[in-house]
Amino acid sequence: MPARDLPDVNVWLALTDPDHEHHARARAYWENEAAHSLGFCRVTMLGLLRLITNRTVMRGNPFTPAQAWRAYQAYLALPEVKFLPEPLGAEAQMAAWSDAPNFPASRWTNAWLAACALCSRSRIVSFDTDFHAFPGIAFLHLTA
């Protein structure tokens, strides 16, 4: 098991929203499969804040901005959760992947998360299959 996990925003959302379709799977990951340390990066922090304050995503019951910030801070108050600073080499790694002739423009955010994971020696955890496209990363694909 890697020393740190970098959960994708879809995992943080499912953990935060008890009515989310993947909440039970996300909780099972948290309780049984998570590394000893979990990290937010700027993209996942902002993504969580954006999604839990979105009326559509939260099915008409969004968090207020203040509630969303408190939810994020509650995660950071846990001893196993840390904020991951931008790792050295992540930008260069992302540039290398984006230079591939078949790099789809829809993968910018996932490429950044994958580069952060690779350069910080973290494992990406996601419900999204796109992370299989990035060679060399440790990836735990959560399935429902």
User: In the chain, where does DSSP find H-type helix?
Assistant: 9-16, 23-28, 42-52, 65-77, 90-98, 108-120
Alpha-carbon span 126 to 120, nearest angstrom: 17
Distances (CA, A) of 90 to 57, 112, 122, 126: 30, 7, 12, 19
Segment (H or E) for 39: strand 37-40
Q: What is the mean pLDDT of the chain?
A: 96
Six token digits for residue 92: 């260069």
Amino acid at residue number 61:
N
> What's residue 93's pLDDT?
97
Band (1; pLDDT cuts 50, 70, 90): low
- Indicate whether 2 pLDDT > 90: no
* CATH domain 4-141 topology: Rossmann fold (3.40.50)
Q: Decide: 19 and 53 in contact? Cβ < 8 Å.
A: no
Digit-coded pLDDT (tens) for 66-125: 999 999 999 999 999 999 999 999 999 999 999 999 999 999 999 999 999 999 999 999
- Indicate whether 21 pLDDT > 70: yes
Alpha-carbon span 144 to 86, nearest angstrom: 30
